[in-house]
Structure 1
Amino acid sequence: MKSNELLLDAFGRIHETVADTLEGVDDDVLVRRPAGTGNSIAWLIWHLGRVEDAQVAAAAGLEQVWTSQGFVDRFDLPLRERDTGYGHSSAQVDSVKAPAALLLEYYDAVHQQTADFLRSLGDEDLDRVVDTRWDPHVTLGVRLVSTIADCLQHVGQAAYAKGLKH
């Protein structure tokens, strides 16, 4: 198995779990916050999509799907255009409301851009430095693995929240 095939499999698992989590979820469940203060399913799915979109687009030298495909306007959230959800207040978490179909459509588009990029990679590409703000500098391989880790955590949290009975 080549490195990019392994990465495609990992990102594919996120994609499958996002779709499974959103299946059959109504708007009330999407915005329900576990224990009243936890992150809602809508926020978690939106956030993981924004994280993957921002991180992969920057590393690939691409425009974010969020803006290039008009999702920022379609979601019409009271947030900054490039907001990914990092450090959100409770009120900002509450402000992320979207139907399951739109959340899935956005993540489908993000996943497609990610998969297209990953298919173009060779093993040597993973050593390319994509962020010099850290010591050691962050390579493409490390950035992709950290994005996978973050997105898997959030989709797991969303799946867990779906299963909670309130």
Structure 2
Amino acid sequence: MITPGYAQEMARYNAWQNSQLASVIEVMDEDVLTQDRKAFFGSILGTLNHLLWSDQIWLSRFDPALPKPEGPDTELCPTGMAWCAARRECDGAIKDWAHGLRQEALDADLSWYSGIMQRAVTTPLAQTVVHFFNHQTHHRGQVHAMLTSAGYDAPVTDLILMPEDV
């Protein structure tokens, strides 16, 4: 289905996208970040927190040595600056994980307890990794729309425009 190279490329894309978002988030007023925009996770920061929390929970499933996030997903980081710092750290962990990923692992299954489904789940790791990266893209798209609606220039998101040096 996929290769370690796919995961490495998507980890690089994820970090690039989040770095671009951070450059916008760092200059935004906290009231704008936390304003309820009637999105699924409420605000820009709530959506960004959900995505960060989700990335951390998936990483802890991919590598049980990594910590699980604490608390509600939309409240992980109380401020935009705290999100930026935590996001950079998580993106580094995602890149490290992707660089250590082997095809044998991708060809195997992953089992974990799903809090959403309230039961044990087993899926092919390759499919789960595709979901992991797709989930990131989905929620960044929501943030992109909210930023645009709030009058900010949302960053370019086209994978084919990603610089080589990211």
Q: What is the TM-score of this pair, normalised by structure 1?
A: 0.72
Q: Once the 2 structures are TM-superposed, how far is the Cα of residue 153 of structure 1 from its aligned partner?
A: 0.8
Matched, 1:160 2:145: yes
SS in 1 for 2:110: strand
Cα distance in 1 for partners of 2:38, 2:71 equals 29
1:119: which partner in 2? 99
> 1:49 is aligned with what amino acid?
L
* 1:144 paired residue among 129, 132, 136: 129
Assess if the C-alpha contact under 8 Å between 2:41 and 2:47 holds in 1.
no
1:17: which partner in 2? 17
Assess if the C-alpha contact under 8 Å between 2:60 and 2:66 holds in 1.
yes
Q: After superposition, what is the alpha-carbon deviation per residue over 1:120-160, rounded to whole angstroms, capped at 9, x for unaligned?
A: 112221022112734xx312211111111111111111121
1:52-131 pair list within 5 angstroms: 52-64=55-67, 66=69, 81-83=70-72, 85=73, 98-131=78-111
Higher relative contact order (CA 8 A, sep 6+): 1
> 2:137 is aligned with what amino acid?
L
1:90: which partner in 2? none
Q: Once the 2 structures are TM-superposed, how far is the Cα of residue 98 of structure 1 from its aligned partner?
A: 2.6
Q: Once the 2 structures are TM-superposed, how far is the Cα of residue 62 of structure 1 from its aligned partner?
A: 2.1
Cα distance in 1 for partners of 2:76, 2:97 equals 28
Cα distance in 1 for partners of 2:6, 2:123 equals 19
SS in 2 for 1:39: coil
> 1:7 is aligned with what amino acid?
A
> 1:15 is aligned with what amino acid?
A
Identify unmatched segments of 5+ residues in structure 2.
113-119, 152-166
Which structure has greater helix proportion?
1
User: Aligned in 2, Cα 1:35/1:114: closer, same or farther, shift over 3 Å?
Assistant: closer
Report % sequence identity: 14
Q: Once the 2 structures are TM-superposed, how far is the Cα of residue 17 of structure 1 from its aligned partner?
A: 2.1
Identify unmatched segments of 5+ residues in structure 1.
67-80, 86-92
Assess if the C-alpha contact under 8 Å between 1:45 and 1:158 holds in 2.
yes
Cα distance in 2 for partners of 1:65, 1:25 equals 28
Kindly tell me the number of residue pairs found equivalent between the two proteins: 140
User: Aligned in 2, Cα 1:129/1:25: closer, same or farther, shift over 3 Å?
Assistant: same
Matched, 1:49 2:48: no
Which structure has greater strand proportion?
2
RMSD: 2.5
Cα distance in 1 for partners of 2:111, 2:40 equals 33
